[in-house]
Chain A
Amino acid sequence: MTDSSDRIKSVDDALTSVIGLLETESTLKKTIRESLEPIDDLHRSALAELNKLHSSSYTSHAAICSRTLEIISTAGPHWNNVASLVPEGEYYRYQFALGPPMRNLTTLVALAHFLLHDSLISSTDTAIAMGLPTTLQLTAEDYLQGVIGMVNELPRLSINSVTAQNFTLPTKIASFVNDIFASYSLLNLRNDALRRKFDSLKYDLKRCEDVVYDLTLRGLTRPAV
């Protein structure tokens, strides 16, 4: 009988220590999730700012985009806080929590950058724009998904800019989406989330081109201002 109680003691020890480890890890995950909340808040206010694009005149677009980028640039200290929680070398262990806010911010940064500079912001510059410290990386996968998020917004912006009598922007948008679609077509995608997002691009492209078609038909493609 003592033999059996020894055995149970050793089982107890092994399991107690493992459950302790599980609890530590689960607490850390929770802390990291909580540390991302201020970034989610920032994302919401930046999104609210950028959404004004749809209802404002063309002349205020640049100001809206600059303000959006300004809001996002204040994320730096929050990211530093997140980075301090992630144990060294374990970035990918917590990527499931870090990826989504990075993708969301990429979407906004890329959209603001496009309207300001008529080009696609690089992944490195996106990371800088959202104030990421070097210990947290914006992976190619997250960047590429975030950019598609931006393209998903463009058909709506194209339509609304016609309503606001801005007939130049739809052409700019269609040409940009066309270039992006061509670029993504260069990738060998496997059957994953990125692939499904890529599949949505062609519908966005079509909607953007339809707007240009409507304008062309009415001779409205010349700059209006």
Chain B
Amino acid sequence: MTEVLMPESSSAPSSRREQLATTFEGYRSELDADNERRERLIILSRSTTQLSKKLIFHLHRGATLTSLEARSKNLQEARNKVAEIKINFGKIYDEIRGGINVESYWRWARQVSPGLEEYIEAISFLYYLEHASLIPLSEIQSELSDPTTGQPYVVVTPEDYVLGMSDLTGELMRYATNSLSTGDHEIPLAVCDFVRTVKTYFDGISPAMLYKLSKKQEETTRSLEKIEKVCYALRLRLVEYADRPEILRQMAKRALEDARDREGEGDKPA
């Protein structure tokens, strides 16, 4: 069709088309390579998420063990699982470094950060169980760096950290309620203090700074209310039945069930 319409300039477009084809084949290989790398990183990120979730379940199982020895064995096993996840981050690093330029981490941060957030949640839970405190960002970062060169595998941003901590409050709520059945009354009280502090700080972060946090803050508020209810019941019973741990346990359990009932049907099970 173009041949008929443009007899005077028919040679120009055909050479133009060939030239464009060469250029676009270049773009094609660039885009293809990017897409493949993106897929591989998503898979690695998902596997990090899975391993981190398993670690969290493992920690919950251990946290309710009564014997101190069994609990420290559980934490030891948890450290082995952390080592396994770190290998995954090493793979992510290799994958990113295979990119064209050094600044590639930021190019792929969006693919990597879901797994990273889940890992932060898991490692901060483990840290809490070990130290009853909050793991500093710098410690997470140094653990996710090459042990010899100090080169970070991934960059732990303050956003990743805050979002991971926000999820931690949910795990701690579960930990606090589960600990009722072991009869350790100090745990819910300490967790309550801790979660309240974290929540207060996060309330100060404006949605303009970190939009994703506002949704998570609602969840944190609910978790905190549950913990507070448990603590309230616990405190009353402690005053009343300090010398009879059997009854205390029973009552705490009932308070917990109460809290669960009031959650309503729409909520996820605690």
Residues of A within 8 A of B (CB): 4, 7-8, 10-19, 21-23, 25-26, 89-93, 95, 118-120, 122, 140-141, 144, 171-172, 174-176, 178-180, 182-184, 186-190, 209, 212, 216, 221, 223
Determine how close the nearest CB of chain A comes to the CB of B208; give it in whole angstroms: 7
> B16 touches which one: A91, A141, A179 (CB < 8 A)?
A179
Nearest A residue to B107, CB-CB: A92
Contacts of A18 in B (CB 8 A): 137, 158, 161-162
What 10 pairs between A and B have smallest CB-CB spacing?
Answer: A92-B106, A21-B158, A93-B106, A89-B103, A92-B107, A15-B201, A183-B24, A183-B20, A26-B209, A11-B134
Contact A140 B21 (CB under 8 A): no
Question: How many contacting A-B pairs (Cβ < 8 A)?
Answer: 126
B193: chain A residues within 8 A (beta carbon)? 4, 7-8
Supply 11 further A-B pairs (C-beta < 8 A) apart from A25-B159, A118-B12, A120-B16: A14-B134, A14-B136, A17-B136, A19-B204, A22-B209, A23-B209, A26-B209, A89-B102, A174-B2, A188-B28, A188-B31
Across the interface, do A186 and B134 meet the contact criterion of CB distance under 8 Å?
Answer: no
B: number of interface residues (CB 8 Å): 48
B210: chain A residues at CB < 8 Å are: 22
Which residues of A have CB within 8 Å of B209? 22-23, 26
Q: Which of A7, A140, A172, A223 contacts B194 (CB 8 A)?
A: A7
Give the distance to chain A from B52, nearest Cβ to Cβ, in Å.
20
Q: Once bound together, how far apart are the Cα atoms of A182 and B2, in whole Å? A: 14
* Complex A-B: 9 CB contacts under 8 Å: A17-B137, A89-B106, A93-B109, A120-B23, A171-B5, A186-B21, A186-B24, A186-B28, A216-B5
Assembly CA distance A26 to B198 (angstroms): 20
Q: Tell me which residues across on chain A come within 8 A of B102, comparing CB atoms.
A: 89
Q: Is B247 an interface residue (CB 8 A)?
A: no
Q: Whole-angstrom distance between the alpha carbons of A66 and B254 in the complex?
A: 80
Structural contact, A10 and B25, CB atoms closer than 8 A: no
> How near does chain B come to A213, taking the closest CB pair, in angstroms?
9
Flag B123-139 by CB within 8 Å of A: 1 or 0 each: 00000000011111100
Describe B's contact surface by its main secondary structure: helix
Contact between A187 and B106 (Cβ–Cβ < 8 Å)?
no
**Is B87 close to A, CB under 8 A?**
no
The answer to whether A22 and B27 touch across the interface, beta carbons within 8 angstroms, is: no
Give the distance to chain A from B105, nearest Cβ to Cβ, in Å: 8
Residue A14 contacts which of B5, B20, B135 (CB distance < 8 angstroms)? B135
Q: Cβ of B215 < 8 Å from any Cβ of A?
A: no
A171 touches B6 (CB 8 A): yes
Question: CA A122 – CA B26 in complex, angstroms?
Answer: 12
Q: Is B242 an interface residue (CB 8 A)?
A: no
C-alpha spacing A67/B31, complex, angstroms: 34
Of residues 157 through 206 on chain B, the ones whose CB sits less than 8 Å from some CB of chain A are 157-159, 161-162, 190, 193-194, 197-198, 201, 204-205
A16 to chain B, nearest CB (A): 8
- Residue B258, interface by CB 8 Å: no
CB distance from B151 to the nearest CB of A (A): 13
Q: Report yes or no: A11 in contact with B198, Cβ–Cβ below 8 A.
A: yes
A189 touches B20 (CB 8 A): no
| Assembled-state Cα–Cα distance A221/B17 (Å) | 22
By a CB distance below 8 angstroms, the chain B residues around A144 are: 27
Instruction: Kindly supply a per-residue 1/0 record for chain B positions 193-232, scoring 1 wherever the CB is within 8 Å of any chain A CB and 0 otherwise.
Output: 1100110010011001110000000000000000000000
